Structure 1
């Protein structure tokens, strides 16, 4: 699958591209309109967005898109990993405590069950730390591309993120006919 960002100077060209896609029945996996990050959206543009609220136009801020926001991606990855690392850590902590019969917390006056539960909680904490470290260690090496996309968005450019369906190609001739400022490939 190919993911690309099409950059436009104004909203009207974005709407025209979406209308052409609708007329030609172009099948896309995803088509997201990303408004400029600075609040320079005029009332006319807001009216145009509301009028053209067809099912092809999905509008999101650039900070809400996982592939364009490494911090959001890292946070969601860490949350997913902690969902399975923490229970495994708890079980591993209980198993380790039962295998070694250590009485590390005997000064607290805990019996064997209390020692086992403390071991499980420490294992769960280890699982959480593992999810934090492992999610932060993945580097996607897209910083240069993302920086230019964020800068264009801050300059007031309208962005359209397009993703084709499996087995199809993006309609490049239709995209080029819409007179975009630039096209940046993210994946594919």
Structure 2
């Protein structure tokens, strides 16, 4: 499985189509070249990760573990320390309220750490590329061997792209 990609950012559709045509004329395999932008594939269709969706998934996954552990931690702390923080609720009520507060703490942790961390750190380069697509730019993505990417890089540099980035899998 090849995980080598060349991502080229072009300012408009005409520039993207002429770059694609140039790649085609040089004999690069068209099944390895994808245009992303209005009228072509979208970021979702290509598989660029939406950081907000990933953050929601991460928060839900963390909530699955943190809420029950928060409840157990809160109730356990209340039981072990016997502080009677909510004495008006009785002994069992005090432990249950402490457990609920621990569960709320777990939920907050899953949202702030799982969700917020996913947005801040989980997007990699996908978010800037999504932003460029939303701004009306076009991306040409070439997938293949390092030799193919080198050929494509040489060809696409002639098109004066806004950005050109190679991503390679080091574990091939």
The TM tier, using the shorter chain, reads 0.5 to 0.7
Query: Among 125, 131, 139, which residue is 1:159 paired with?
Result: 139
Q: Is the 8 A contact 2:70 2:102 kept in 1?
A: yes
The structure-2 alpha-carbon separation of the partners of 1:118 and 1:15, relative to structure 1 and needing over 3 Å to count, comes to farther
DSSP-derived class of the 2:29 partner: helix
Measure, in 1, the Cα distance between the counterparts of 2:100 and 2:142: 45
The structure-2 alpha-carbon separation of the partners of 1:127 and 1:35, relative to structure 1 and needing over 3 Å to count, comes to same
4+ runs deviating over 4 angstroms: 1-4, 11-19, 69-73, 141-149, 160-164
Structure 2 residues without counterparts, runs of 5 or longer: none
Compute the RMSD of aligned alpha carbons: 4.4
Q: Give 1 or 2: higher helix fraction.
A: 2
The structure-2 alpha-carbon separation of the partners of 1:184 and 1:106, relative to structure 1 and needing over 3 Å to count, comes to farther
Measure, in 2, the Cα distance between the counterparts of 1:118 and 1:93: 8
Query: Among 105, 115, 123, which residue is 2:86 paired with?
Result: 105
Aligned length: 153
Structure 1 residues without counterparts, runs of 5 or longer: 42-48, 50-57
The residue aligned with 2:111 is: 132
Measure, in 2, the Cα distance between the counterparts of 1:137 and 1:131: 10
